[in-house]
Structure 1
Amino acid sequence: MSKKSKQQLENNKLNKRLRHAVGDAINDFNMIENGDKIMVCLSGGKDSYALLDILRQLQASAPIDFELVAVNLDQKQPGFPEHILPEYLESIGVPYRIVEEDTYSIVKRVIEEGKTTCSLCSRLRRGVLYRVAKELGCTKIALGHHRDDILQTMFLNMFYGGKLKAMPPKLVSDNGEHIVIRPLAYVKEKDLERYAELKQFPIIPCNLCGSQPNLQRQVIKEMLQDWDKRFPGRIESMFSALQNVVPSHLADTELFDFTGLVRGQTLKHGGDTAFDSETVPARFSDGLSENDSEITLSPPTPKKVINILASKPKTA
């Protein structure tokens, strides 16, 4: 197989993987229904371009009918290339609307120089988009947040907000009038980066926050990227955890009736244990095997805990 053919095969696999991931998220959370008019929020970044592109592919093959309309908010940032998005959207034949609102001046006036602008900028932008969705008669608002965004938000809320909270794939808007969906919820950011290069989307950088390298979100992002390199599978496991929440084993009295617990009560997720069954290298499994294959252990007894912790690789 030639190098060109191999590349084409990889490109096809990437496209198929993204379509399946988006399709799975849409099905799992019932994001799109027959007759929906979906406002796709297009920022000019790789994520929203990919979102629109994949939704258009699914629209062509889906067994239901739904409309797409792309909406961009021109926040009047200095040097913003106003022609790029209209030209792109006209070239692919997608209905669109460009909304001009000078939120940039508001953010610069209100936020002290050097402080994070993202929070206020996001709230102002979201308010405008809610209004436009109502004007256009849209039933859903699609945002381009992906799996990594969701995990980053979880850690931001844990570290700085004291909440176990992330971005949900589907939720009612702040004003209660719209359903917000995130069809890229199962998609990896690195796949979106490759897809943007493949499709050669005309990317527009965000100049407003581009001069803020020490943003808390950026720090969290770098932490997760480091984990992904050093511990393959950790990111996938953490995202799976968001879909396997066990209220009886946390500490939120509003989610679980701790005060009403009685002896002999059967709980959905079982009673108290040190931790769930783990998969560990067999060389740390209390002598059950001498090879390095992985085995699944039940929660260890105190003796096993001592043996596991005491086991150390032999030095040369």
Structure 2
Amino acid sequence: MFKIKKLLGQIRKAIEDYNMIQEGDRIAVGVSGGKDSITLLVLLKQLQSFYPVHFDIEAVTLTMGIGVFDLSPVVELCKKINVNYTIEETVIGKIVFEARNEKNPCSLCANLRRGALHNVAKRLNCNKVALAHHRDDVIETFLLSTLYAGKIQTFSPVTFLERKELYLIRPMIYIEEKHIKEYIKSNGLPVVPSPCHVDGKTKRQYVKDLLADLHRDNRTVKNNIFGAIKRLGIDNW
């Protein structure tokens, strides 16, 4: 299987570097249906079979209440790999795009989705939530925060939510997005298109395109930024 040993090695290294998983953890994996979350789900399931501590996995998808969102391929995948799958119906999309008619909807949408996902995780008796942010997401978030908020920050590998008594973990922080795309394609894994109205039209997409331009001129630019984040110790890095 394409790069499976390398990807499993990178996910295991991140987990061990930041002590993400302990014996008896119940982990709710946020599954949007996109390539990143599908890869995270499959890798965690494979890791579960040989990792030295026992942990359980629950797959969770939030619907947005807008557009066409056919989750049948994810249902079939979860059956195939023997993971319990919960689909939580929400109206987040209608709140963001209709009731509030947000001009910059991403922040509100993310906040509502986080809250809903955390509630489902608690209901499933999970103590951790795994999110599918990868290495490129770390870099893009750092640039977004710097350029648009004037803050030197990005998300942490592990975050404790005291009010919810939940840990957020990001096991794919060492994995490059291009390797996720190749892994999905080579293994024929299902990807469900996002129903979001602004998908691919956000500031994050602008920063992604900017990084791609920079990378064409300097092949080490992403490595340099990621290295700087680690050396600065931003948000518990």
**Aligned counterpart in structure 1 of residue 38 of structure 2, from 28, 45, 49:** 49
SS of residue paired to 1:244: helix
Q: Separation in 1 of the partners of 2:134 and 2:233? A: 24
1:184-231 CA-partner distances (Å, limit 9, x unpaired): 011100010101101212111112134552x21111101112222221
**Aligned counterpart in structure 2 of residue 94 of structure 1, from 83, 88, 112:** 83
More helix by share: 2
Match of 1:67 in 2: 56
Whether the aligned pair in 1 keeps the contact of 2:118 and 2:164 (CA below 8 Å) is no
Deviation at residue 77 of structure 1 after TM alignment = 2.0
Whether the aligned pair in 2 keeps the contact of 1:118 and 1:209 (CA below 8 Å) is no
Question: Structure 1 199/212 Cα, relative in aligned 2: closer, same or farther at 3 Å?
Answer: closer
1:205 equivalent in alignment to 2:232: no
Deviation at residue 86 of structure 1 after TM alignment = 1.7
Match of 2:105 in 1: 117
Sequence identity percentage: 36
**Aligned counterpart in structure 2 of residue 166 of structure 1, from 151, 154, 159:** 154
Question: Structure 1 246/102 Cα, relative in aligned 2: closer, same or farther at 3 Å?
Answer: closer
Q: Separation in 1 of the partners of 2:24 and 2:194? A: 34
1:229 equivalent in alignment to 2:216: yes
Whether the aligned pair in 2 keeps the contact of 1:40 and 1:143 (CA below 8 Å) is yes
1:108 equivalent in alignment to 2:97: yes
Deviation at residue 111 of structure 1 after TM alignment = 4.2
User: In terms of Rg, which structure is larger?
Assistant: 1
Match of 1:239 in 2: 226
CA RMSD of superposed structures (Å) = 1.8
Length-normalised TM-score, structure 2: 0.93
**Aligned counterpart in structure 1 of residue 68 of structure 2, from 73, 79, 84:** 79
Match of 1:302 in 2: none
Question: Which structure 2 residue ranges, 5 or more long, are not aligned?
Answer: none
Match of 1:180 in 2: 168
SS of residue paired to 2:231: coil
Whether the aligned pair in 1 keeps the contact of 2:96 and 2:108 (CA below 8 Å) is yes
Q: Separation in 2 of the partners of 1:150 and 1:192? A: 15
Question: Which structure 1 residue ranges, 5 or more long, are not aligned?
Answer: 1-7, 248-316
Q: Separation in 2 of the partners of 1:246 and 1:51? A: 25
1:219-264 CA-partner distances (Å, limit 9, x unpaired): 11011122222211221121111111179xxxxxxxxxxxxxxxxx
Q: Separation in 2 of the partners of 1:34 and 1:85? A: 27
Match of 2:137 in 1: 149
Whether the aligned pair in 2 keeps the contact of 1:117 and 1:209 (CA below 8 Å) is no
- Greater relative contact order, per chain length (Cα 8 Å cut-off, separation 6+): 2
Q: Which amino acid aligns with 2:112?
A: L
Whether the aligned pair in 2 keeps the contact of 1:116 and 1:212 (CA below 8 Å) is no
Length-normalised TM-score, structure 1: 0.70
Match of 1:293 in 2: none
Q: Which amino acid aligns with 1:238?
A: I
